[in-house]
Amino acid sequence: MKKFGLIGKNISYSFSRKFFQEKFNQLQIDATYENFDLQHIEELKLVLQKNKSLNGLNVTIPYKESILPFLDELSPEAQQIQAVNTIKISNNQLIGYNTDAFGFMKSLFPILEKQHTHALILGTGGASKAVANALKSMGIEYRFVSRNSQQQDLAYADLDETIIQEHQLIINCTPVGTHPKVKESPALPYQFLESSHLLYDLVYNPPITEFLAKGKIRGCSIYNGKKMLEYQAERAWQIWNE
């Protein structure tokens, strides 16, 4: 029996377990998928010791970057992004991949319009690095937004009408607004949003976050991260079976 799982923190809500269990049933594959809810990334060592039959892992918030020292090898894309969300385990070697960039790009491409040439990326974690990598490959300029601006990054307090108007694509790569804290939203000046803006939230639970709801009120196009998750999960499955 093959065994797979998800590494993360407070992940009972996660989409991955249900997705892969349904896939195993559909394909009639003798495999299991387990959530490994870790309070600290160092607990990964114990997970690996207790589950020597593991074939692959997904990695989610907040460990996409901190897991790097535990890996034996990185794919070229993961090396470039410096964040991992998929691990293939082969001959006791842990090989890190990033399928987030692929999933994000594939989900974003059909909904882009001509004005979406400049983006704001909310957050600076592992997911935001994958999004930045995807935007760069698509020729879309971007700036990061964080609570405390560093170097070329913006702070939320820096955002004004001019910046919002110059960036018609805004992507939330933070966990803000995820269930159960569904009333929270990134600290944007939402009053400056217009119908030409596209708001993309990597959060998918709830389907319409407070961030997206505030954009919808302003007439913006809105999109959540469900399709991205499906695409990145399918790519992870391919990697595990290569």
Task: Please check whether residue 199 is in contact with residue 220, taking contact to mean a CB–CB distance below 8 angstroms.
Answer: yes
Count CB-CB contacts under 10 A for residue 10. 14
64 is catalytic: yes
- The whole-angstrom separation of Cα 193 and Cα 168 is 9
Classified as helix, coil or strand, 5 is: strand
198 - beta bridge partners? 169, 221
Round to whole Å and give the CA distance between 129 and 73: 19
Q: How many CB atoms lie within 10 A of CB 4?
A: 23
Q: Looking at this protein, which amino acid is placed at residue 126?
A: G
The 3-state DSSP class for residue 211 equals helix
Strand order in the sheet with 154-155: 154-155, 141-146, 118-122, 169-172, 198-201, 221-224
End-to-end alpha carbon distance in the chain: 17
Catalytic residue among 50, 52, 64, 227: 64
> How far, in Å, CA of 107 to CA of 200, rounded?
10
- State how far the alpha carbon of 239 is from the alpha carbons of 88, 89, 106, 131, 188, in Å: 7, 10, 17, 20, 37
Catalytic positions are: 64
